[in-house]
A and B are shown apart, each in its own frame.
Chain A
Amino acid sequence: MLKIECPFCGNRNETEFSCGGEAHIARPLAENKITDLAFSEYLFMRDNPKGVFLERWCHTSGCRRWFNMARDTVSHEIIEIYAMGQKPKTAIGKKAFLSNWRRKSKAETASTPIKRTAK
């Protein structure tokens, strides 16, 4: 059983959470300009490493809020938990982010980041 530190509620059992799979998959905003093959990488193809994996979790039976997690898929060690919209901060997490094939995929490069303006 994983013990997960919800950033909002604190330490809880894994049964309160659901896992949302690979994190940081950006929807290609220029979807009409990329091929079906490139779009299928966004839609279906998944990072599935034996080692450090960046994934999304939701505290479904608690605050119902989402967050990101860097976790080792062999030892199940939770390396870091960080907010949605953020990138990992640990060296291991950063390496996993940058080495993911998706960073260079057509789908991802076709997804222009949304610029947020402060209110």
Chain B
Amino acid sequence: MAKTHLDRGTGGLTQKSKRYSIFSLARNAASYHQNWQQAWRHAEPKPAYDAVIIGGGGHGLATAYYLASVHGITNIALIEKGWLGGGNTGRNTTIIRSNYMWDESAGIYEHALKLWEGLSQDLNFNVMFSQRGVLTIIHSEHELKEMSRRVHAIRLNGIDSEILSPTEIKKMVPTINIDPNIRYPVMGGFIQKRGGTARHDAVAWGYARAADDLGVDIIQNCEVTGLRRTGKQITGIETTKGFIKTQKVGCVVAGHSSVLADMANIRLPIASRPLQALVSEPIKPILDTVIMSNAVHMYLSQSDKGEMVLGAGVDKYNSYAQSGSWPIPEHMIAAAVELFPFLSRLRMLRHWGGIVDTCPDASPIISKTDINGLYFNCGWGTGGFKSTPGSGHVFADLIANDRPNSIALPYSLKRFETGYLIDEHGAAGVAH
């Protein structure tokens, strides 16, 4: 497993008066919450910056924050075409875990999990990180064997992972159906107790507020339309708010990575596909962990508001329409109802899709490119929310020092040339 560099930086919100606390809550309650300060400024682009981050999702915002807090690079802009967190960050089912099989994956995802464990304090923003455990259930003899191999590999990397029998699962999750005669019988499972969920919007807002505090200009409603370069050096970006001069550009645009890469004539192995999720009407607390099933492409948790959150497997064909195709949720709901019969009585409240950037080996790309000063962070596909702090942390390091650290190194674009893939498909099935 790669060595972890847990430099948490200086932290944002240096001025005491601006910090959120029980006292500021009481003070603001006394004035009917009319006087809360703005969480971040509405910046307009300056003509030039030391670095520009494209994409205001969690990963882009985390990159900007760590560039400022760990590396002291504060003359930076973050450019978002819509609103902060309006991409996959605000559309995902927020499952966080680090129980991946390969050493390289353990390196990045465990790095992220360690950062999650102190994130609310670092940012002075409650990201509602809840270590309620992530329980993966197993439905076949073959999967059972594969599971014990995986659990042991995970433990060898020092990451917590426990095997559970069907009766132990039933005890933990009383609503689950463990009848051996159902379509997808529960034959066992494994849990990472340090895994869980977080509030997705809060992650985007927390990073934005802390980055802004350190001087980062956050520019929304501004689309990047071109990447300008001179020879092999990036020199700036074209946007709907004009040209911005810079020598360093980090692209963190998830589903739109190929569109940005085309602007620079760079090839990526990415396919953009919809990933769908839905929530039910809110009900009383009934599930206090996260359930995943790789075999039936279903996962389930309960939000703090009481909604049952359900996610599906990725759609079958490329698309940039943030909706998705109907047969996918239909299949997912059928499997969920078989495992949790009570779900059949619930009404659906909302259903949506996000465009995820899938990579052939189901692992991300954190890389320099052939163009000096142009960096890509993408390919997180269906499972990048969990890595948000780790991804931003190592990407900031890559941009600041123009060389990958030991965690980021395996995720270079070069791996498609050398064949050193990090094939998490077989290991993880659905990679959420």
Chain A residues packing against B (C-beta within 8 Å)? 1-2, 14-15, 18-19, 21, 36-37, 40-41, 43-50, 53, 55, 71, 73-76, 101
Contacts and interface: CB of A to CB of B under 8 A. Distances in A.
A101 B267 contact: yes
Nearest to A71: B317
A75 B262 CA distance: 20
Given A21-B271, A48-B270, A73 B418 contact: no
B317 A19 contact: yes
5 contacts: A1-B325, A40-B417, A44-B269, A46-B269, A74-B320
Contacts of B267: 41, 45, 101
Residue from A18, A44, A46, A49 whose CB has the most chain B CB atoms within 10 Å: A44
Nearest to A43: B416
Interface string B84-123: 0000000000000000000000000000000000000000
Contact of A73 (B269, B270, B320, B327): B320
Interface string B332-373: 000000000000000000000000000010000000000000
B271 A48 contact: yes
Given A76-B321, A101-B267, A36 B417 contact: yes
Contacts of A76: 319, 321
A53 B416 contact: no
Contact of A50 (B320, B327, B417): B320
Contacts of B327: 1, 14-15
Interface in B302-324: 316-321
B321 A75 contact: yes
B325 A74 contact: no
A23 to B, nearest CB: 12
B33 to A, nearest CB: 41
Nearest to A1: B326
A73 B417 CA distance: 28
Contacts of B269: 44-46
A96 B206 CA distance: 42
Contacts, number: 66
Given A40-B416, A41-B267, A48-B270, A55 B321 contact: no
B335 to A, nearest CB: 16
B69 interface: no
Contact of B318 (A14, A44, A53, A75): A53
B29 interface: no
A71 to B, nearest CB: 8
Contacts of A74: 319-321
B258 interface: yes
Nearest to A14: B325
A86 to B, nearest CB: 20
B259 interface: yes
Contacts of A45: 267-269, 416
A44 B416 CA distance: 7
B233 interface: no
Given A45-B267, A45-B268, A48-B272, A36 B418 contact: yes
Given A14-B325, A76-B319, A50 B259 contact: yes
B14 interface: no
B10 interface: no
Interface string B155-181: 000000000000000000000000000
Contacts of A71: 317
Interface string B131-173: 0000000000000000000000000000000000000000000
Nearest to A19: B317
A101 B318 contact: no
B360 A44 contact: yes
Contacts of A49: 258-259, 262
Interface string B407-421: 000000000111000
Interface in B380-432: 416-418
A33 B318 CA distance: 32
B21 interface: no
Contacts of A37: 417
B316 A19 contact: yes
B263 to A, nearest CB: 12
Residue from B265, B317, B319 whose CB has the most chain A CB atoms within 10 Å: B317
Nearest to A50: B320
A73 B325 contact: no
Nearest to B326: A1
A18 B417 contact: no
Given A21-B318, A48-B318, A76-B321, 17 more contacts: A1-B325, A19-B317, A36-B417, A40-B417, A43-B416, A44-B269, A45-B269, A45-B416, A46-B268, A49-B258, A49-B259, A50-B256, A55-B317, A55-B318, A73-B272, A74-B321, A75-B321
Contacts of A36: 417-418
Contact of B325 (A2, A48, A50): A2
A100 to B, nearest CB: 11
A5 to B, nearest CB: 16
